[in-house]
């Protein structure tokens, strides 16, 4: 099976970017070449930036979660999450508030995992409630 990948460009203009700055950003993207390519074994499902923009977190099929340094695309962490062998097990991972932890889950499993964002160590693995109304993964933060 071939590798799927995500193309990454560092220019992130926002609607609040001054007009002169956004012009220079659009010129820097004129070449249409990525700064680097993040590879996946089975297809990237989602990419998300760390709160401080220093890392990119990629989630892919069947519990593949990787963290890359944003400046050069170097693989920083490959999270050790057991594979199910299913091609329909779509995994999502997100940075939690502050960026110290990462929450992950997948469509065909009934657990939510919490990892340390700097070491990749699994801090917690919790079963989702078996009587929930939807099979969709959702997380509720309580303050």
Name the more confident of 28 and 93.
93
**What pTM was computed for the model?**
0.66
**pLDDT at res. 77:** 92
What span, in angstroms and rounded, lies between the C-alpha atoms of 50 and 34? 19
pLDDT of 33-58, one tens digit each?
777 777 777 778 888 999 999 999 99
Name the more confident of 131 and 109.
109
Spatial strand order in the sheet of 91-95:
91-95, 101-106, 111-116, 122-127
**pLDDT at res. 136:** 58
pLDDT of 84-101, one tens digit each?
888 888 888 999 988 999
What span, in angstroms and rounded, lies between the C-alpha atoms of 107 and 111? 10
**pLDDT at res. 107:** 83
What span, in angstroms and rounded, lies between the C-alpha atoms of 136 and 71? 34
Question: Lowest mean pLDDT: which of 9-13, 46-50, 66-70, 74-78?
Answer: 9-13
What span, in angstroms and rounded, lies between the C-alpha atoms of 106 and 84? 10
Name the strand (E) or helix (H) holding 28.
helix 19-28
């Amino acid at each position: 099976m071939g590798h799927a990948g995500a193309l990454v460009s560092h220019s992130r203009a926002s609607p609040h970017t001054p007009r002169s700055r956004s012009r220079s950003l659009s010129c820097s993207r004129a070449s249409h070449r990525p700064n680097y390519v993040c590879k996946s074994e089975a297809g990237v499902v989602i990419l998300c930036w760390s709160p401080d923009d220093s890392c990119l977190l990629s989630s892919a099929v069947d519990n593949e979660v990787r963290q890359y340094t944003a400046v050069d695309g170097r693989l920083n962490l490959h999270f050790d999450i057991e594979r199910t062998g299913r091609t329909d097990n779509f995994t999502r991972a997100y940075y939690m508030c502050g960026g110290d932890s990462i929450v992950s889950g997948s469509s065909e499993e009934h657990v939510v995992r919490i990892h340390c964002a700097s070491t990749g160590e699994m801090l917690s693995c919790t079963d989702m409630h078996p009587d929930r109304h939807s099979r969709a993964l959702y997380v509720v933060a309580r303050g």
